[in-house]
Every structure is written in C-alpha cells, then in structure tokens.
Amino acid sequence: MASARVLVKRRKSIRNIRKITRTMELIATARFKKAMDRASEAAAYTRKINEIVADLAAADLKFSHPLLQQPPEEQNVAILVLTSNRGLCGGYNGGILRPALRRVRQFESEGKNVSLEVSGKRGLSFMKFEGIPIDRSYTQFEDKPAFDEVNELASRYVADFIAGRIQRLDVAYQEFLGSSKQAPTVQTLLPIGDLAGSGGADETSNGAAIDYEFLPSAEEILEELVPAAFKARFFKTFLDAAVGEQIARMVAMKSATENADEMIRDISMEYNRARQTQITSELAEIIGGAAALE
C-alpha cells in the first residue's frame, strides 16, 4: 500500500487538475452560448434567402445557373476540412478527420485531383502526421468566424467553380443538429444540389402566391441570389463548427471534472485507510515495546 504522504501529493495534483478542467468547462459553456446566439442570428439570413428563392420559384422561373449545374465530369475536387485550433475537446477533431480522410482516399482511388484545404491547427498536424500534402491551410477561424473572412474563401470557390478549375467542393465539419446532438458530416456544397432545400422554404409556399414585381428581372436576381445562397450555406458550416467545438469541449471537460472528483474520492478513501494502518502499526509498535520492557 502506498504511503499516506504519496497519496496526499497525488490528491493535491488531481485537485489542481480538477480546477483547470472545471474552469475550462465554464469557459466553454460561456463561449458555446455566444456561438449559439451567433448561429441562430445567422439563421435569419438563410431563411430569408430561401424565402426569396421560393418567391422566384413561384414566378415560374426555370433555375439555371452555373453553380447549380453538375459539371459533365468531376476531375478536380476540393475538400475543406474544418477542425479546431485548440485541443482538449474530446473526439471532436477525430470525428471530423476520420470521414474526411475516407473521402479523400475515395477520391484518390477514383483518380481525381484532390485539393485538400484544412482549417484549424489540429487538422493540420493530423494531416502532417499522416503525410498527406495540404494545398491551403487556415488558422484564423476561432470561435467567432466573421462573415467577411469566410466570404473571401467562398468567393474564391465560386470563381474557381465557374471558371471550371474545380468541379466539386466538399466540406467536412461537425453539423449542429441540436444542443445535445452533433454529427460529423462531409457535405457537398458545390454544385448546389437543391437550392430550396435545407428547410424554411416550404413555409412560404402556403397561401396564395404574391404577385411580385421583380427588379431588374427574376433571371438577373437569381444570378446574384445563387452565389448568396451558397455563401450563406458556406458560412453556416463555419458557425456550426464553432458551436460544435465548444459543445465538445464542454462535454469533455465536464466528464474530466467528474472523473477527477471520482479519483479524489477514491484516493481519499485509500489515504484514510493508509493513515489508519500507519496508526495501528505505530500503536502495535508502542505496545510491543512496552511489553518487551516489562
């Protein structure tokens, strides 16, 4: 049995770790709330875009836009992987990197040119370890991604796609399904499959269609609207990723704190027992000594 002194030392260090994990949990909770607010505020934009799409659809407009069209062949594929810059968030990064890597391998086996882009230090070090070359890397996206920053990326993808430099864009990220449910997904954002999709559009279709005046014309509005819809979706992946990271960290730190509590309890018990043994043996020695003197 370990001596009481060693146990006291261990218990002390666990208490210190517990303090750290507990604090990180609280910070993650606060950040999560902020990220969540941002995500729900941003949802208004997407909802409105979908509404206008539905309005245009009601005007008997045939949707045709370069971003909507499936290119005849997919040769150049871009994959963007969104991971976190910081660790200590449980299986968050691993969960994203696994399906992302699978997708990369799949494309490579199909003989496509994959351009891999990774955001977040964790993903970058993982790819380095795996020996996979990265074409572009970003580390500027923290828990508050700004639209302007994300927009730069989005505009480049739009330009590349229209010019035919890439035929497909996949984004691997943690999709936010609810505050207790996130799932790593690899989503194809370009070409845009279903413009009216991702919910919100059907609520406007009820009731009589409003006879809109279109300025300049429905076609020209659509021309601008499709990239805007893509950008809104692209931005959403970043917001989801930010929320997911904080949730993952919150959960990981919560269980770490609980584990620390349990260890402190166990060690305390062991320490008490060790102390008791020590006292007993000391008493036995004294009694033994006294008996020997008689």
Partner 1 sequence: MIAATELRLVLVTPETTLLDERVRSLRFPMFDGQMGVLPGRAPLVGRLGIGELKVATSAGGSDRYFIDGGFVQIKGSVVTLLTDRAIPVDEIDAAQAKSDLAAALAEVPTSEEGINAKERAVERARRMSGLR
Q: How far is the CB of 154 from partner 1 (least distance, A)?
A: 10
Residue 285 interacts with partner 1 (CB under 8 A)?
no
- Out of 211, 290, 292, 294, name the contact with partner 1 by CB under 8 A: 211
- Report which DSSP code applies to 164: T
Q: Which one of residues 119, 231, 247, 252 is an interface residue with partner 1 (CB under 8 A)?
A: 231
Residues, the chain: 294
Whether residue 71 is preceded by a cis peptide bond, meaning omega within 30 degrees of 0, is no
Residues 6+ apart with CB under 8 A from 49: 225, 228, 229, 232
Among 48, 105, 128, 165, binds partner 1 (CB under 8 A): 48
Q: What's the closest the beta carbon of residue 75 comes to partner 1, in angstroms?
A: 22
Site string for partner 1, 141-160 (x = CB under 8 A): -----xxx--x-------x-
First to last CA, the chain: 33
Helix (H) or strand (E) run with residue 178 in it: strand 168-178
Whole-number minimum distance, CB 8 to partner 1, in Å?
A: 52
Cβ-contact 226, 194 below 8 angstroms: no
Closest CB to partner 1 among residues 38, 112: 38
Would you state the structure tokens that stand for residue 103, as one six-digit string? 């997708």
Window contacting partner 1 (CB under 8 A); options: 4-12, 49-57, 184-192, 252-260: 49-57
Sole residue written with tokens 């799932």: 183
Of 76, 138, 129, give the one whose Cα is nearest residue 101.
129
- Compute the least distance from the CB of residue 96 to partner 1, in Å: 23
Secondary structure in 3-state letters for 132-184? CCCCEEECCCCCCCCHHHHHHHHHHHHHHHHHCCCCEEEEEEEEEEECCEEEE
Work out which of 20, 29, 45, 125 binds partner 1, going by CB under 8 A. 45
Identify the bridge partners of residue 243 per DSSP, sorted by sequence position: none
Give 63 or 214: the residue with its C-beta nearer to partner 1.
214
For position 51 contacting partner 1 by CB under 8 A, the verdict is yes
Of residues 58 through 117, those in contact with partner 1 by CB under 8 A are: none
- Nearest CB to partner 1, comparing residues 100 and 195: 195
CA-closest candidate to residue 104, choices 84, 121, 127 = 127
**Does residue 225 touch partner 1 according to CB under 8 A?**
yes
For partner 1, how many residues bind (rule: CB under 8 A)? 32
Binding interface with partner 1 (CB under 8 A): 38, 41-42, 44-45, 48-49, 51-52, 55-56, 146-148, 151, 159, 210-216, 218, 220-221, 224-225, 228, 231-232, 235
